[in-house]
């Protein structure tokens, strides 16, 4: 099951992409009430997306991005039926990739 939901829409030559990722986004600063220690950091560090082998998103994150991150971005070009590749990598080395079709 993919933990990334993407909607990409093209209008007047501009594609708007909206993504919702399922991820804890633990900062590493939060206290664990049970143990008194810190909850280990576990957050997405890098997200990128490509369209026709061109970069359309290239971003670095901290744990300051909300749990279950939402990100929206826009680019020039893109037509209905085109594919967008979307990938994230977290600080634990976990990664996930998905593709979406522009509508």
Partner 1 sequence: MTETQLDTKRRLLLQGSLGVGLAALLPTSVFANWPQDAFKAEDKDGALQALLGNNAVEMSDAVDLKVPDIAENGAQVPVTVETELAGVESITILATTNQNPLIATFNIPEVALPFIATRIKMAETGDVMAVVKTANGLFANTKTVQVTVGGCGT
Binding site for partner 1 (CB under 8 A): 14, 25, 27, 29-31, 41, 45-46, 51, 54-67, 69-77, 89-91, 93
Nearest CB to partner 1, comparing residues 2 and 58:
58
Calpha distance 42→83 (Å, rounded): 29
Smallest distance from the beta carbon of 51 to partner 1, in angstroms? 8
Centre a 10 Å sphere on the Cβ of residue 11 and count the other Cβ atoms it contains: 9
Instruction: From residue 39, give the alpha-carbon distance in Å to each of 21, 27, 53.
Output: 21, 8, 38
Smallest distance from the beta carbon of 32 to partner 1, in angstroms? 12
Place of tokens 């994230």: 88
Nearest CB to partner 1, comparing residues 76 and 81:
76
């Amino acid at each position: 099951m993919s933990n990334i939901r993407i909607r990409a829409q093209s209008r007047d030559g501009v594609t708007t992409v909206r993504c919702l990722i399922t991820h804890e986004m633990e900062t590493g600063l939060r206290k664990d009430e049970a143990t008194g220690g810190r909850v280990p950091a576990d957050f997405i560090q890098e997200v990128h997306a490509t369209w026709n082998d061109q970069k359309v998103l290239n971003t670095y994150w901290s744990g300051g991005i909300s749990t279950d991150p939402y990100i929206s971005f826009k680019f020039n070009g893109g037509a209905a039926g085109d594919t967008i590749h979307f990938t994230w990598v977290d600080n634990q080395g976990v990664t996930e990739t998905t593709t979406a079709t522009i509508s």
